[in-house]
């Protein structure tokens, strides 16, 4: 049985996908069962790194998703429209869909999966998170027997590259971002990466799978890395931490009983990670996703989070998953029940805790005058709001100004913010350049 694929988009990932499918030797034998039947492109005449018969190419993407011969539509054009409409049309036509489009799934997953379940087709998205790293499928299948407590990821390669270089070179954000742009590791408009929006899309998708509920993207708290400075990285280093942009989805626990609640924490922010933590040594453009569950404990998936080859590997693995499922069914797919491990059937929305309720540790860097009295003042102010201090380090003195770094114990966000607001009012606190969370 040959399965006919309609490929939408022949950019980097599309080229990588076609390369695998056109060169099946020494790969899983099932790769041979996949035929690139139609490829939708913007221009027919552009020179490309692969050879495809000219009559397979078309600029009419709509014709691909409605072609009765196409079994699986592979959406690799990215962005919201026309990607969303093409995916929905493919589903309506009874076609399975494979996509690498995190933005469209994070925003329209609800609509897309509802339509897919009605049509009895699969929508697979391994390439949408973590590039080539198999993490979507393990979350749906191998890890699904666990009661998941948390998914914590370094899921954006650009910011991890920038933070790693800041760590290694002691350089500042702006200079290294500019260099990363020159080297092609960051986009000309770096907003989606450095402001954490890309990571927010991805953690919304991971949380939905890990906790079996739908996620509203606006529920994800999102803070980027623009304000992380070379001196924060240096202080963190001295305190035994590295700074990483983490995307966190965690089942909230009751602070009194430590019992799991029905609410999730969902947040993306730069975080001080202890050096011995498995995520601390994930550097450069690599991604990693740490899953904690009962009874498995901690499992981590590490690998290349982007790039032609890795992302294409994930796309083709999804195609194969559909081919394998179709081959194990003796009759036409549409009349068969779905494999619940591949389908996405949850309907309800997850409850997400407001950020003000979340308990975490904080790192604060302050510039203060009159150092003799200032530490007492900080301590009192934090104490008034039940913020307990783990350590105070007065690291550098420049003339009359002392730089003071405070690390707190676990504290409720709203209490911490109230203390911070009060602190900012003190005459001898000149500036609070950094507030970061600690894992």
Among 246, 266, 320, 407, binds its own copies (CB under 8 A): 320
Catalogue the E-assigned strands of 370-409.
389-398, 401-408
Judged by phi (left if over 0) then psi (alpha if -120 to 50, else beta), residue 214 lies in beta
Q: Kindly state whether residue 304 participates in binding its own copies, applying the rule CB under 8 A.
A: yes
171 lies in the binding site for its own copies (CB under 8 A): no
**H-run or E-run covering 64:** helix 61-65
Distance CA 78, CA 191 (A): 16
Question: Could you give the string, one character per residue 95-134, with x where binding to its own copies holds by CB under 8 A and - elsewhere?
Answer: -------------------------------x-----xxx
For its own copies, which stretch binds (CB under 8 A), given 85-93, 172-180, 198-206, 313-321? 313-321
Residues near 142 by beta carbon (within 8 Å), at least 6 away in sequence? none
Contacts (Cβ under 8 Å, ≥6 apart) of 170: 230, 233, 234
List beta partners, residue 270.
245
Q: Of the candidates 259, 263, 250, which has an alpha carbon nearest to the alpha carbon of residue 149?
A: 250
383 scored as a contact of its own copies (CB under 8 A): no
Applying CB under 8 A, does 257 fall inside the site for its own copies?
Answer: no
Q: Name the H helices within 184-229.
A: 191-194, 197-211
Structure-block tokens of residue 26: 């020494």
Angle between helices 173-183 and 157-169 (to 10 degrees): 120
78 touching its own copies, by CB under 8 A: no
259 annotated among ligand-binding-site residues: no
Per this entry, what is the length of the chain?
439
Question: Of the listed pieces 108-116, 198-206, 339-347, 387-395, which binds its own copies according to CB under 8 A?
Answer: 339-347
142: contact with its own copies by CB under 8 A: yes
Which residues fall within 8 angstroms of residue 169, CB to CB, at 6 or more apart? 176
- 270 lies in the binding site for its own copies (CB under 8 A): no
Q: Which two tokens stand for residue 395?
A: 């690291």
Annotated active-site residue in 19, 46, 140, 202: 202
Please indicate if the annotation marks 102 as binding a ligand. Answer: yes
- Does position 339 bind its own copies by CB under 8 A? yes
* One residue of 44, 188, 256, 331 binding its own copies per CB under 8 A: 331
Least distance in angstroms from the C-beta of 319 to its own copies: 8
Q: Which range in 22-30, 66-74, 348-356, 402-410 contacts its own copies by CB under 8 A?
A: 22-30
Among 170, 240, 255, 297, binds its own copies (CB under 8 A): 297
Residue 247: its H or E element: strand 241-253
* Nearest residue (CB) to its own copies, 188 versus 332: 332
Q: Is 336 in the site for its own copies (CB under 8 A)?
A: yes
Selected binder of its own copies within 294, 370, 386, 400 (CB under 8 A):
294
Instruction: Name the 3-class secondary structure at 148.
Output: strand
CA distances from 9 to 6, 19, 27, 41, 60 (A): 10, 14, 24, 5, 11
435 binds its own copies (CB under 8 A): no
Q: Does 28 bind its own copies (CB under 8 A)?
A: yes
303 binds its own copies per the rule CB under 8 A? yes
Contacts of residue 109, Cβ cutoff 8 Å, sequence gap at least 6: 205, 208, 214, 215
Asked if 275 is an active-site residue, the reply is no
Q: Can you read off the two tokens belonging to residue 351? A: 């409850």
Figure out which of the listed residues 312, 350, 406, 435 binds its own copies, where binding follows CB under 8 A.
312
How big is the site for its own copies, counted in residues (CB under 8 A)?
A: 66
Residues designated as active site: 202
Site residues for its own copies per CB under 8 A: 16, 19-20, 25-31, 126, 132-134, 137-138, 141-147, 212, 260, 278, 281, 293-304, 307-310, 312-314, 316-317, 320-321, 324-325, 327-331, 335-342, 345
Residues placed in the known binding site for L-homoserine: 187
Q: Which residues are annotated as a binding site for NADPH?
A: 102
């Amino acid at each position: 049985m040959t399965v006919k694929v309609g490929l939408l988009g022949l950019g980097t990932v599309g080229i990588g996908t076609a390369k695998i499918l056109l060169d099946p030797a020494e790969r899983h034998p099932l790769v041979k069962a996949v035929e690139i039947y139609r490829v939708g492109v913007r221009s027919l005449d552009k020179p490309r790194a692969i050879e495809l018969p000219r009559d397979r190419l078309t600029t009419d993407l709509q014709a691909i998703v409605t072609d009765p011969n196409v079994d699986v539509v592979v959406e690799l054009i990215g962005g919201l429209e026309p990607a969303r409409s093409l995916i929905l049309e493919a589903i309506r036509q009874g076609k399975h869909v494979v996509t690498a489009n995190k933005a469209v799934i994070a925003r329209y997953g609800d609509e897309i999966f509802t339509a897919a379940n009605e049509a009895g087709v699969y929508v697979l998205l391994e390439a949408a998170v973590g590039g080539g790293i198999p993490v979507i499928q393990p979350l749906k299948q191998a890890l699904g027997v666990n009661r998941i407590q948390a998914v914590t990821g370094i899921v954006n390669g650009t910011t991890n590259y920038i933070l790693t270089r800041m760590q290694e070179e002691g350089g500042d954000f702006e200079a290294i971002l500019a260099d990363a742009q020159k080297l092609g590791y960051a986009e000309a408009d770096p907003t989606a990466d450095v402001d954490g929006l890309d990571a927010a899309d991805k953690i919304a998708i991971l949380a939905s799978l890990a906790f079996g509920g739908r996620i509203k993207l606006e529920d994800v708290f999102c803070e980027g890395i623009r304000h992380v400075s070379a001196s924060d990285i240096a202080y963190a280093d001295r305190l035994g931490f590295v700074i990483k942009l983490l995307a966190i989805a965690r089942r909230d626990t009751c602070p009194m009983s430590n019992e799991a609640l029905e609410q999730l924490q969902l947040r993306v922010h730069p975080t001080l990670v202890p050096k011995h933590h498995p995520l601390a040594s994930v550097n450069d453009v690599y991604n990693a996703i740490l899953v904690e569950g009962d009874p498995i404990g901690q499992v981590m998936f590490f690998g290349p989070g982007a790039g032609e080859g890795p992302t294409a590997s994930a796309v083709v693995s999804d195609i194969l998953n559909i081919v394998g499922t179709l081959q194990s069914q003796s009759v036409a797919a549409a009349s068969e029940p779905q494999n619940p491990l591949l389908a996405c059937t949850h309907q309800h929305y997850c409850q997400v805790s407001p950020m003000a309720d979340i308990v975490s540790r904080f790192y604060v860097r302050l510039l203060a005058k009159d150092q003799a009295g200032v530490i007492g003042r900080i301590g009192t102010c934090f104490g008034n709001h039940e913020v307990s201090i783990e350590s105070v380090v007065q690291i550098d003195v420049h003339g009359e100004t002392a730089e003071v770094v405070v690390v707190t114990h676990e504290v409720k966000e709203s209490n911490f913010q109230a203390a911070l607001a009060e602190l900012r009012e003190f005459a001898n606190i000149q500036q609070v350049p950094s507030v970061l969370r600690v894992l």
